[in-house]
């Protein structure tokens, strides 16, 4: 019996545009910008920031070494934020409805630049805070580890005090889903809007 829903964020709740981010960094002067951004994980300073291995200031300084002289923190952040689009309001409404029947949790590979800007604005745009949608949140930069590591799944179980065998994990990455299965999580590969994929008993 499923008691909990564990959601990925990017590509599941919030829409992404990887190419828009690559183009923004290319315009800023980052050589081979495409190589830094994978479909489900990042490379270089981007990966370090996501894993909580460096601070935002250290990230800016590492990026500046790869950019033309004069690139500002704001310009770097703006280019990085182009990775994220928005959260359609019907998904936010669905999360509220799901909380009426299930424990709803978030497990995200993300970074403080995204988290404290676009992500924060998207979740608060309907007048609620994060706790209006989730019973608990784990971010990679705070946990200091990223999916698909076993460490972050164990961290999530310990933080939320949930039983994996009672939890459905929704992610757009098969690698992440497979990594969760040894813990006993049920999984759902999100290949389209999650409100269309969840069985009717989950969403009114």
CA-CA-CA-CA torsion sign (164, 165, 170, 176) = positive
Same domain, 9 and 33: no
Smallest Cα–Cα separation from 3: which of 170, 201, 167, 171?
167
Cα gap 21→29, rounded to integer Å: 13
Nearest to 122 by CA among 81, 88, 95: 88
| Shared domain check, 110 and 46 | no
Considering the candidates 8, 69, 135, 158, report the single residue annotated as catalytic. 8
pLDDT reported for residue 200: 60
Q: Are residues 25 and 102 in the same domain?
A: no
In this predicted model, what pLDDT tens digit does every residue of 157-174 receive, in sequence order?
Answer: 999 999 999 999 999 999
Question: Based on the domain organization, do 9 and 110 belong to the same domain?
Answer: yes
Question: Rounded to an integer, what is the distance from CA 76 to the centroid of its chain?
Answer: 19
Assess whether 169 and 116 both reside in one domain.
yes
Rounded to whole angstroms, what are the CA distances from 32 to 11, 107, 128?
Answer: 24, 30, 39
CB 76 within 8 A of CB 114: no
Domain holding 57: CATH number? 1.10.150.240
Q: Residue 143: which CATH number? A: 3.40.50.1000
Residue 198: predicted pLDDT:
85
**What pLDDT, on the 0 to 100 scale, is given for residue 179?**
98
Structural domain contains residue 204: no
Statement: residue 203 has pLDDT above 60: no
Residue 165 sits in the same domain as residue 92: yes
Region of 32 on the Ramachandran plot (φ > 0 left; ψ -120 to 50 alpha; else beta)? left
Residue at which a domain ends, from 81, 98, 116: 81
Within a domain: 202? no
Tokens representing 160?
A: 């939320």
**What pLDDT, on the 0 to 100 scale, is given for residue 201?**
54
pLDDT at site 76: 97
- What confidence tens digit (pLDDT) does each residue in 82-94 have? 999 999 999 999 9
Q: What is the reported pLDDT for 69?
A: 84
Give the residues across from 103 on adjacent strands: 4
Peptide bond before 148: cis, by omega within 30 degrees of 0? yes
Which helix (H) or strand (E) segment is 142 a member of? helix 140-143
How much of the chain exceeds pLDDT 90, in percent?
90
In this structure, the answer to whether residues 68 and 94 fall within a common structural domain is no
Do 62 and 102 reside in the same domain of the chain? Answer: no
Answer whether residue 204 shows pLDDT above 80.
Answer: no
Residue 69 in any domain: the answer is yes
Structural domain containing residue 125: 4-14+88-197
Domain contains 46: yes
* Extended beta strands in 13-155, E state: 103-108, 136-139
Say what the pLDDT of residue 37 is: 86
pLDDT at 66: 93
Is residue 156 within 8 Å of 107, Cβ to Cβ? yes
Is 32 catalytic? The answer is: no
Are residues 8 and 23 located together in one domain of the fold? Answer: no
125 and 184 part of one domain: yes
At 21-78, the pLDDT tens digits run 999 999 999 999 999 987 666 889 999 999 999 999 999 999 999 999 889 999 999 9
């Amino acid at each position: 019996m499923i008691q909990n829903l564990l959601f990925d964020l990017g590509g599941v709740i919030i829409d992404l545009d990887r190419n828009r981010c690559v183009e923004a960094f290319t315009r800023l002067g980052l050589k081979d910008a495409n190589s830094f951004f994978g479909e489900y994980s990042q490379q270089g300073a981007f990966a370090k920031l996501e894993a909580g291995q460096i601070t935002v200031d250290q990230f800016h300084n590492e990026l500046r070494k790869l950019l033309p002289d004069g690139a500002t923190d704001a310009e770097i952040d703006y280019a990085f934020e182009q990775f994220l689009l928005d959260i359609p309001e019907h998904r936010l409404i669905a999360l509220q409805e799901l909380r009426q029947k299930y424990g709803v949790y978030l497990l995200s590979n993300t970074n403080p630049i995204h988290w404290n800007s676009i992500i924060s604005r998207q979740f608060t745009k309907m007048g609620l805070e994060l706790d209006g949608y989730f019973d608990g949140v784990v971010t990679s930069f705070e946990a200091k580890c990223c999916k698909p590591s076993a460490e972050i799944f164990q961290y999530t179980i310990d933080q939320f005090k949930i039983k994996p065998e009672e939890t459905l994990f929704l992610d757009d990455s098969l690698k992440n889903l497979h990594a969760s299965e040894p813990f006993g999580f049920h999984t759902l590969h999100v290949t389209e809007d999650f409100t269309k994929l969840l069985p009717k008993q989950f969403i009114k």
